[in-house]
Structure formats: C-alpha cells, structure tokens
Amino acid sequence: MSAETQGKQQLSYIPLDRTGLARKVAADIPEGWVVNLGIGVPTLVADYVPADREVIFHSENGVLGIGPKPPEDQIERWLINAGKQYVTLRSGGSYFHHADSFAMIRGGHLDLCVLGAFEVSETGDIANWTTLSTEIAPAVGGAMDLAVGAQRLWVVMEHVTKDGRPRLVQKCSYPLTAPQAVKRVYTNLAIFDITQDGFKLLDMVTGLTLTELQAVTEGRIIC
C-alpha cells in the first residue's frame, strides 16, 4: 500500500503542524547557545524558547540578540532580520557589518543553525537552494555558509513532498547546499540524528509505527 492511499484512510496518528515542529526544536536548544534560524518554520522556533532561557539569536544581516516580533505601533523600520521581517533587539544585543556577521558563521562561532530543506540524505547532504527550475533564477543567500560554518546544522521539513515522495533520501536529487553537513532532522513525523549507519530514530509522533515511518522514508532507519 502506497503512502498516499494510506493517507486517505483514517490515520492512527496526527502529524505535527508548523507550530508543533517549532516547539520540538525549541525544546532541544539549551541555554547559552548562539543560534541562526532560517526562513520559514525555523524562524518560528524563537517564539517557543522560554524567555527565561538565554539563547542568543543571530541574523546574517548583522544582528545578534534578536528579540520577539514588535507590536505594530513599535516597529523600528531600520531593524529587520534576514527574512526581511521587523524584529526587536534584546538587552545585550549588537549590530555589525556583513563580513563580521559571516566571520561569526564561517569561523565556527555559532552553536547551531536551523534550516529548511527540500531533501536530506542519509549521509547528511542537504539540498535547499534550487529546484533547477528554469523559470526562477537560483538564489542561495547565506545557506551554504551556514551549512558548513555552524557547529551543528539541524533541518526542519515535512517528511514527504506534496505528492508523497520521501524527503529523507539515500541521495539528494536536487543540487546540494553542502555535503555531509546535517546533524539532525525534525520532520512532522519524527526526529532523527544523521549517523554513519543511517537515520537514527530519536522520537516519532504517537500512534505511528516504525513500518509506516519506514514506508515514507527512503534511507535506512535505525533505532
């Protein structure tokens, strides 16, 4: 039975939504880490780190110590994050130029980067910057720098594509952002560490069986 036909029957489990995924990632970030969050679900992670846990958020465009989103009437037009959203600066925060910002990234000063992706391979290759569409020019931003520079790279993504194909694969079909870079993957179904032996299962949603999970995962799952 394909993943798609299974999906049309009543599921015995509930996949995590975007908020649920962001909460899972946030729960695993300890106090004291300096963290860069990519665009999309990764950006939401900051909202679920408790205010009393000091985690320092970095943004490529020269901001360290990003605080919560400002209320509409307190927007500071000169203060944005890499996703071009208005943000605030926490006490202790600082501004710097792009070369310093990427010295922090490439020099290994960030404890963690969380990115979205199209695919992750069982050897930790990540593909997240171009689908090879001829309609849209490719855009890479800071993803390649972050993938090789941060101490750890975690990926957050849906477990399968819109048409039900696995995103956890043996070999990426899209161009790589970086080879052998990902340490951990959070999907809407499960959490894995990338190990020499394959995708090591750390957690999965209640009610999901290992057989069901393996059916929508191309690489080898180990427990």
User: Which residues does the annotation mark as catalytic?
Assistant: 60
Footprint (CB under 8 A) of other proteins, residues 151-190: 175-179
Q: Could you tell me which stretch among 102-110, 157-165, 190-198, 214-222 binds other proteins (CB under 8 A)?
A: 102-110
Residue 111 near other proteins by CB under 8 A:
no
Among 11, 141, 161, 222, binds other proteins (CB under 8 A): 141
Q: Is 76 in the site for other proteins (CB under 8 A)?
A: yes
Give the residue among 163, 165, 212 at the shortest CA–CA distance from 189.
Answer: 212
The verdict on 99 binding other proteins (CB under 8 A) reads: yes
Instruction: Establish if 216 lies at the interface with other proteins (CB under 8 A).
Output: no
Contact 57, 36 (CB under 8 A): yes
* Token output for 131: 């689908």
Q: Phi and psi of 27, rounded to 5°? A: -60, -25
In 3D space, the residue among 183, 93, 177 whose CA is nearest the CA of residue 143 turns out to be 177
β-strand pairing of 119-121 with 126-127: antiparallel
Going through the chain in order, the beta strands assigned E by DSSP cover 34-37, 56-59, 63-67, 88-95, 112-116, 119-121, 126-127, 153-157, 168-169, 184-187, 190-195, 198-204, 221-222
Among 61, 90, 183, 214, binds other proteins (CB under 8 A): 61
Residues in a beta bridge with 195: 198
Pick the binder of other proteins from 95, 109, 152, 221 (CB under 8 A): 95
Please work out the total of residues on this chain that contact other proteins, with binding judged by CB under 8 A: 42
Rule CB under 8 A: say whether 120 interacts with other proteins: no
Question: Does the footprint of other proteins cover residue 62 (CB under 8 A)?
Answer: yes
CB of 141 to other proteins, least distance (A): 5
Residues that bind other proteins (CB under 8 A): 59-63, 76-82, 84, 89, 95-99, 101-102, 105-106, 130, 135-145, 148-149, 175-179
